[in-house]
Amino acid sequence: MGTPLLPDLRRRLAAGEFLLGTWVTLLDPAVAELLSGSGFDFLVVDGEHGPHATADLQATLIATKASGVAVLARVGANEPVRIMHALDAGATGVVVPQARSVGDVERAVAWCRYPPAGLRGIAPRRAAEWGRRSAEYLAIANEAVVCCVQVETAEAMADLDAMLAVPGLDAVLIGPNDLAAALGHTGQLDHPDVEAAIARVLEGGRHTGVPVGIWAPNAPAAAIARREQGFAFVTIGADYVFLAAAADAAIRAVRAG
C-alpha cells in the first residue's frame, strides 16, 4: 500500500478538528518545504493572486511530500481544467475563489469528483504515483479530495443558504478583504457590516454542517479569536508576511539598540 496517497484533511474537517494553515505565494519550493515543517495542518498554494501555475504547484507538492502536510491549491478560476490540473498533480483539494451562486458551487464540486458522482476526467498521473497506484487513488479520491469555495462577494451573500446546501461541498473559506470591498468598506475588515456578514456565513455553516474558515493576519491573537468564535479553520498570514515581519522586526531591534 505504501504511504497514504492523500492526507486525511477532509475527514479532519468533517470531524470538527480546528485546523490551522497558511498561504504559499513565493515560487521557490524551498519556502513551502520550510513551512511544511512548522506544524501547520495545511498549506494553500495561491494560484489566484499568486504566480503559481501547475508546474509550480507540482514542485511545491514534491517539496512538501515528506512532511505529509495537506496542500490545497487555490485555483485561478472556477474552470474544469484548472481544478483537474491541481488534483492530478496531487493536491489534497482545491480552494475555488469568487463563488457567487449555487451554480458556481455545483460546478466546483462536480469537477472535484469522478463519475458518477461528478465530472472529473480520469488521469490522476502524479496523484497516483505516476500510475503505479491508479486503482487505489480512484477508489479513494471522491472521499478524500477537499472541495472548498470562497465566499467573498455580495452575490454570494445573497445566495448563501442555497450555496451552503449544495451536496459535496466540504468547506467554505471567507475572503474578508474582498467581502469588505463588496460591502462598500474596502480595507475596513473590522467594519460592523463586514463582521455581521462574517457571522452570518459562520452561522450558515453551523446550520448546514459545512466547516467555515477565514483568513487572519499574522497575529496569533486574531487566529485564537476566530477559533473561539467558532471557525473550523484559519489561514494565518502568508509566507511573504512571515518573512517581511521577521526582517522588519530584526532591523527595528538593531536600529533601536
- Known catalytic residues are 49
Q: 43 and 32 in contact (C-beta within 8 Å)?
A: yes
Instruction: Give the count of beta carbons closer than 10 Å to the beta carbon of residue 240.
Output: 14
CA dihedral 138, 143, 145, 150 (to 10 degrees): 150
Q: Positive or negative, the Cα torsion across 108, 176, 47, 21?
A: negative
Q: Nearest to residue 125, comparing CAs of 80, 70, 87? A: 87
Q: How far is CA 35 from the centre of its chain?
A: 15
